[in-house]
Chain A
Amino acid sequence: MNPEELLQKNVSHQLTAEAHGHDVRVCMGAGCMSLHSDQIKSALTAQVKQHGRDKSCHVKGVGCMGLCAAGPLVSVEPQGVLYKEVTEEDAGEIIDSLNKAPVARLICPTDTPFFQNQMKIVLENCGKIDPERIEEYVNADGYIALIKALTEMTPNDVITQVMRSGLRGRGGGGYPTGLKWTTVAKADGTQKYVICNGDEGDPGAFMDRGVMEGDPHRLIEAMAIAGYAVGADTGYIFVRGEYSMSVKRLRKAIMQAERQALLGKNIFNTPFSFQIEVRIGAGAFVSGEETALIACIEGRRGVPSPRPPYPAERGLWGCPTLINNVETLANIPSIIRNGADWFSNIGTRTGKGTVVFAMTGRVQNTGLIEVPMGTPLREVIFDIGGGVPDGGTFKAVQMGGPSGGCIPEQYLDMPIDFDSLLEIGAIMGSGGMLVIDDSASMVDMAKFFMEFCRIESCGKCVPCRVGTVQMHELLIRFSEGTATERDLVLLEELCDLVRHTSLCGLGQSAPNPVLSTLRYFRHEYMAQIRPDFGANGVDTHESRSTS
């Protein structure tokens, strides 16, 4: 029996969607939910009843549709229309129009670059399927990759595919995923673990949340495949404490998968067993760092430990542990299903596949987007993003949050991948993309991120604990216009020191926002230096008046 047949046979509840005439999808992503899309869903459901269309129309909640800026969003299939800025009052009209022309005043055009220029792998189901129903995921080819792996491939075959796909980690480091899997698979020990890192600490990123809430089964499938490949029987999904909806959806998905024998003992009657537990973070940026995250799961303070040993050799409870980011794992089912060659044909030479960005700030189309690696930033910001609104002028784009850097206009045509970004002092990071226009001060942005690092520093190592405080103090002086030339020298020295001597990535990358703004917007720092302060920091004004 091939994987498809196996699934058909086993997932008992068959989808009733095809029987329905219309599928009305209401976005229940974080952005639309904050505009109370849940109430719109209730209103639509009530209208369906009122119109007596219960049998021919199905209203469902789906994950983030991407264009959060135009929310709340509602789409109707098979009509293929997207409605924007929908209110409860519009519900009647929308249901009324199902067999007629769509409601013109609410239509959100989808022939725009925002929809046409994207390429979805990680987010392929987001905004389409009901994340709370396993049947919908299965109907979208879900769990086929897992069954294919378990029934047609050896663990080594799986790793070979991941290796050949060229997939690199999306959690910040860009480490080759296949290599990491190999290390864990080869590590000594009978007990191994898989951890999915859903801590998403960057204060401007919501890609992982989009996947956890919009397509949770995808992660479960990926983790089980990873477990099979490296020889682990237990997985943990570590979710940021603030993401209560993600926790709820993941837990529900795990239960559903267990019921269908897609998780648990002897999955699909193979010798492979795998269980997954959700663990909730408790609010500490540093606990997204892998060694700190492991401490957190073990019930300790989430502070990092020196590496090596790397978790791949000695991780959770001293056992070899595979730890991957949400977005990294979300690529796995597609790679196994479509093959490594399919994946490695997308992107650039050193960056394969797609990348998901949470685009925010001074840009028209704020939201969640996915583009092939190598897409120039100009296309992302000006075509897909729709450029800077309200007649503002683009100044820079900040990528990678508190560990990243900013990219000025002159590099916008460069294809984005891990290496090209590093070269110009930014990082791919976790995928937060903040568009900055000329109304913002770059010194202020650097100060903002440094304050974040200062607060989030766990205090274990001195350079980071003390250095971030000192750098923040200096940046306050710059932003208030009371800095001296000596402060600039000091700031640069500190950046260098903290970067090279901190224990973990938090401290090592904390200077990045300062260094990159100094590199491209040094004049903004210079403009904040008090002219009557001498080069040695002595107030020449004062020394004159007292003498």
Chain B
Amino acid sequence: MKTVKSAAPSTDNRWRIVDAAMRRLGFQPHALIETLHVTQETFGFLDEDALRYIAATLGVPLSQVYGVATFYRAFTLKPKGAHHTCVVCTGTACHLKGLPEILAALEAELGLSPGGSTPDGKAALMTARCLASCGLAPAAVFDGKMVGNLTSATALKRIRQWVEHES
């Protein structure tokens, strides 16, 4: 079995979590996606140092690591800027039950569009492909908390609370 052959990018203890993930799968190239998952969970995003380190440790070309990291929607190469996130479901049932109107309201009232954040950068709006809570469509997750039967009014209220609370 291979051992860790390149040094971690920093002395940050969190790299141990990443190392453990790679070790668990025997530092095999096929551990790549698992490792990226763990790294992102640990650091919040994948920076160049992380990609280089993982490439060297698993013996995978950096180009392939970059290719995989940019192919899948779950991975992000940029740090999450906003304090608060709202993830709206863009699945079929939510679409049918009024998500477009809610998105329009967020855009009109708060200047918030999918992938963007409020002008003060405090709240970000993201989308997810079906949160599998179609029974409660339209649904969204506000800072990790799922809210069903969403209306424009409740969505606006929740995001306004974040924005106003912090100023």
Please list the residues of chain A having a beta carbon within 8 angstroms of any beta carbon in chain B: 30-31, 33-35, 68-69, 71, 200-206, 209, 241-243, 279-285, 287, 296-303, 358, 360-362, 366-367, 398, 401, 432, 434, 436, 440, 445, 448-449, 452, 458
Contact = CB atoms under 8 A, between A and B. Distances in A.
B68 A367 contact: no
Contacts of A68: 133, 135-136
B64 to A, nearest CB: 7
A398 B93 CA distance: 11
Given A300-B64, A301-B67, 7 more contacts: A30-B132, A31-B133, A241-B74, A242-B129, A361-B97, A401-B92, A449-B92
Interface string B31-59: 11110110000000000000000000000
25 contacts: A30-B131, A31-B136, A68-B136, A69-B135, A203-B91, A281-B72, A282-B37, A282-B74, A284-B71, A287-B72, A299-B30, A299-B32, A299-B60, A300-B32, A300-B64, A301-B71, A302-B72, A358-B134, A360-B137, A361-B93, A362-B97, A434-B96, A445-B96, A448-B92, A458-B71
A361 B96 CA distance: 7
Chain B contact residues (Cβ within 8 angstroms of A): what range? 35 or more
A367 B132 CA distance: 10
Interface string B138-162: 0100000011100000000000000
B55 to A, nearest CB: 12
B73 interface: yes
Contact of A34 (B91, B92, B136): B136
Given A203-B130, A206-B134, A279 B34 contact: yes
Contact of A282 (B67, B75, B95, B148): B75
A204 B33 contact: no
A286 to B, nearest CB: 10
Interface in B93-115: 93, 95-97
Contact of B36 (A204, A282, A284, A436): A282
Contacts of B75: 282
Contacts of A366: 93, 134-137
B42 to A, nearest CB: 15
Given A296-B33, A432-B92, A360 B64 contact: no
B165 to A, nearest CB: 21
A30 B133 contact: yes
A301 B75 CA distance: 12
